[in-house]
């Protein structure tokens, strides 16, 4: 029975991956990646990694992919041609490189002579991969990695806000931001201020 589920998950993961690369519209690419991530979560469940599978579904499919969809809708990524006009040879070279990479990886994995290859693994025990075990490991053995990950998330959030900030002046002079509101305290002096990041959320005050 596990074989059936493995092949279902593997086919779903590979189809999602190929769809991500091959579909022309970025919106459909994101949806194909969602299929890929869900299939991968099924494979994680087969590998008794309950918490990783749940985190995959909630964090990736729930949060990161929605972020992608918002940006695709904002940028309006229409169908772009996969290959440029005069360079089909580069595309074939890329496909050839991918095939060569797969062959090399397969040789490196299957020819490595690891003793674990060819068996299912015997180390599974009761409670393997459950949230309590993962939480215990994160707060004891891997506390430094946990804290560093939180600092990295904070830095990335601040960096994303600074990168996506509008640097030039406002297009619509009536638009205000929360920062301007806090700086002056009055709405009369807000017309010439610098833009913040909450403009889209706020909108013009008369709306």
Q: Interaction with another protein in 122-151: which residues (CB under 8 A)?
A: 122-125, 128-129, 133-134, 137-138, 141-142, 145, 149
175 close to 204: Cβ distance less than 8 angstroms: yes
By beta-carbon proximity to another protein, the closer residue of 116 and 178 is: 116
Stretch that binds another protein, among 118-126, 174-182, 186-194 (CB under 8 A): 118-126
Nearest-approach distance from CB 118 to another protein, in angstroms: 6
- Interaction pattern, residues 178-207, with another protein; x per rule: CB under 8 A: ------------------------------
Burial class (CB in 10 A: 0-12, 13-18, 19+), 8: middle
Taking alpha carbons only, the member of 128, 23, 10 closest to residue 78 is 23
CA distance 190 to 170: 11
Nearest-approach distance from CB 40 to another protein, in angstroms: 6
Subset of residues 40 to 99 that bind another protein, contact rule: CB under 8 A: 40, 43-44, 46-49, 51-52, 55-56, 59-60, 63-64, 67-68, 71-72, 74-75, 77, 80, 82-84, 91, 93-95, 97-99
Residue 101 touching another protein (CB under 8 A)? yes
The single residue among 35, 166, 181, 202 that binds another protein, judged by CB under 8 A, is 166
Q: Is 121 left (phi over 0), alpha (psi -120 to 50) or beta?
A: left
CA distance 84 to 27: 20
By beta-carbon proximity to another protein, the closer residue of 160 and 187 is: 160
Report residue 106 as tokens. 């397969």
Q: What is the dihedral of CA 133, 136, 137, 143, to 10 degrees?
A: 160
E strands along the chain, which residues?
Answer: none
């Amino acid at each position: 029975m596990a074989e059936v589920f493995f092949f279902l998950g593997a086919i779903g993961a590979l189809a999602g991956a190929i769809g991500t690369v091959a579909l022309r519209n970025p919106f459909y690419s994101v949806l194909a990646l969602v299929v890929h991530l869900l299939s991968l979560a099924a494979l994680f469940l087969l590998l008794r990694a309950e918490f990783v599978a749940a985190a995959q579904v909630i964090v990736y499919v729930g949060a990161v992919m929605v972020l992608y969809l918002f940006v695709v809708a904002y940028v309006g990524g229409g169908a772009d041609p996969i290959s440029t006009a005069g360079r089909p040879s580069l595309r074939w070279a890329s496909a050839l490189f991918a095939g060569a990479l797969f062959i090399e990886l397969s040789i490196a994995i299957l020819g490595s002579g690891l003793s674990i290859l060819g068996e299912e693994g015997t180390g599974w025990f009761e409670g393997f991969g459950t949230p309590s075990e993962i939480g215990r490991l994160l707060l004891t053995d891997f506390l430094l990695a946990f804290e560093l990950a939180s600092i990295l998330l904070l830095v990335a959030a601040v960096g994303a806000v600074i990168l996506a900030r509008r640097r030039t002046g406002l297009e619509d002079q009536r638009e205000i931001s929360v920062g301007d509101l806090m700086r002056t305290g009055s709405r009369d002096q807000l017309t010439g201020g610098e833009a913040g990041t909450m403009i889209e959320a706020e909108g013009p005050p008369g709306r």
